[in-house]
Copies of this chain bind each other. A is one copy, B any other.
Amino acid sequence: MNNPLSMLVSDLSPQLQAWRRDFHRYAESGWFEFRTATLVAEELDRLGYRLQLGREVINADARMGLPSAEALQQQEQRAREQGALEKWLPHFSGGFAGIVATLDTGRPGPVIAYRVDMDALDLNEKLQPDHLPFREGFASCNSGMMHACGHDGHTTIGLGLARVFKSLEAQLSGTIKLIFQPAEEGTRGAKSMVEAGVVDDVDFFTAVHIGTGVPAGELVCGSDSFMATSKLDVTYRGVASHAGAKPEDGRNALLAAAQATVGLYAIPRHSEGSSRINVGVLQGGTGRNVIADRAFMKVETRGATNAINEFVYQQALNVIEGAAKMHGVEYDIALMGAAQSSKPTQPWVDYIHRQAQEIAELTSVVDRREQAAGSEDATYMMERVKSHGGQASYVIFGTELSAGHHNEKFDFNEQVMAVAVKTLASLALNLPTFGSKA
């Protein structure tokens, strides 16, 4: 193990905790990461990284599941009141809170990139003494927004890496890129950064997560079981009519949504792997005695591969359209999020595996795990990197959790952040050894 690195990270630990607790306290949901992003930019700028911000790293049209303009404005104002830095805020205004920080060592070498995400969940944090963030005073002060998936930790890890790389710049060659992504929840943000080209020059790519059921002390070097997914908002628009007096004048949007719902669940299974379909939300109608003129559905499809998800997605489009036709109503579909399935590249997994074996805190290092792990839009970045021949992986650092992800009492052991910084930093520091056998 690299001793200077260990000491550096050890010294950094209090700062890591401070950052994380600040981000946790001012939790900001997807596309609302205004305060977080200004603080991140400030620190990176202070360290001397070259910054690309906002529209430079986010393709406006490729953003999915964007909140309304009003909501964005309100939240920007809220961020301002909570200490967002005016210096950086204009870059992120309107749903553009993405940052890419680049450290060009001036020495020849490949581009190695790390991706962390910054958004919280739409959830109220539990305000009870048995919940550590509340007890220690850093529970979310933003109603309906909570870091219950550890992205506050991820952002912190990104900043920790920035400090470490700057300190050890002399030992590095090539280029380091730190990617801070908004709106990973709902798999909404990564595609817009990919479309802006942020990983087009990347040779080695690693996305990071903590927790997710992996035991403390364990590293998963190449999580490969993300399902491809599509998130759809469907709105049916019909014609209202008095259900007693003039039923024949109505065009029943609620009935169309109900028929669509059963049709969606009835989409065929696929012989080549897992598939999923869900209508998580259905809201239709205004009054008991009125033929409903509007119904709204939140739908998602998944597939073990991109092809399987595409199969389910295309079938879903047919079902949604057919149900509209059946009941004479109009419909809109909005793509609110999407992610791909993506396998890590084995050489990079092997390399990470070897590096991790040098980290004392990691008592178990594995390549993959059996359990399916939901969906992740870092897969868009992985696929892009792989498409031009780069190496890519998705790593998970195990940690103790106080409650499961997306739970109102979620919390993690903060020591995992230092372990992650140390391990991830070593990937860049030892990169010249990539390709040689352990």
Complex: A246 Cα to B270 Cα, angstroms = 7
Q: Does A284 contact B (CB under 8 A)?
A: yes
Cβ proximity bits A287-305 to B, threshold 8 Å, 1 near / 0 not: 1111110010011101000
Cβ proximity bits A314-333 to B, threshold 8 Å, 1 near / 0 not: 01001101111111100000
**A281 cross-chain contacts in B, Cβ below 8 A:** 254, 284-288, 292
Complex: A326 Cα to B324 Cα, angstroms = 9
Cβ proximity bits A12-40 to B, threshold 8 Å, 1 near / 0 not: 00000000000000000000000000000
Q: Does A334 contact B (CB under 8 A)?
A: no
Specify which of B243, B258, B274, B326 is in contact with A318 (CB 8 Å cutoff). Answer: B326
Closest CB in chain B relative to A292 CB, distance in Å = 6
Whether B282 contacts A285 by the Cβ 8 Å rule is yes
Q: Which residue of B lies closest to A269 (CB)?
A: B247
Complex: A287 Cα to B285 Cα, angstroms = 19
Closest CB in chain B relative to A350 CB, distance in Å = 25
Complex: A288 Cα to B186 Cα, angstroms = 9
Cβ proximity bits A218-258 to B, threshold 8 Å, 1 near / 0 not: 00000000010101000000000011111110101011011
Complex: A271 Cα to B269 Cα, angstroms = 12
**A247 cross-chain contacts in B, Cβ below 8 A:** 268-271, 276, 278
Whether B325 contacts A321 by the Cβ 8 Å rule is yes
Complex: A318 Cα to B272 Cα, angstroms = 28
Closest CB in chain B relative to A66 CB, distance in Å = 15
User: Which of A95-103, A137-145, A165-173, A259-267 lies at the interface?
Assistant: A259-267
Q: Does A372 contact B (CB under 8 A)?
A: yes
Q: Does A283 contact B (CB under 8 A)?
A: yes
Q: Does A423 contact B (CB under 8 A)?
A: no
Complex: A66 Cα to B265 Cα, angstroms = 34
**A245 cross-chain contacts in B, Cβ below 8 A:** 271, 372, 374
Q: Does A391 contact B (CB under 8 A)?
A: no
**A326 cross-chain contacts in B, Cβ below 8 A:** 259-260, 263, 318-319, 321-323, 326
Q: Which residue of B lies closest to A186 (CB)?
A: B288
Closest CB in chain B relative to A403 CB, distance in Å = 14
A325-B322, A375-B244 as given contacts; A258 in contact with B271, CB under 8 Å:
no
Closest CB in chain B relative to A30 CB, distance in Å = 13
Q: Does A280 contact B (CB under 8 A)?
A: yes
Which of A227, A276, A286, A324 gathers most chain B CB within 10 Å?
A276
Complex: A318 Cα to B324 Cα, angstroms = 9
Q: Does A311 contact B (CB under 8 A)?
A: yes
The 8 closest A-B pairs by CB, nearest first: A322-B326, A265-B266, A322-B325, A243-B278, A258-B261, A280-B288, A281-B285, A258-B258
A residues near B (Cβ < 8 Å) are 186, 227, 229, 231, 242-248, 250, 252, 254-255, 257-263, 265-266, 268-272, 274-292, 295, 298-300, 302, 311, 315, 318-319, 321-328, 336, 372, 374-375
Question: What are 30 A-B contacts with C-beta separation under 8 Å?
Answer: A243-B278, A244-B278, A244-B375, A245-B374, A247-B271, A248-B311, A252-B265, A254-B282, A258-B258, A258-B259, A258-B261, A258-B279, A259-B326, A260-B326, A262-B263, A262-B266, A265-B265, A269-B274, A280-B289, A280-B290, A281-B285, A281-B288, A282-B284, A282-B285, A283-B284, A287-B298, A288-B336, A315-B328, A322-B326, A323-B326
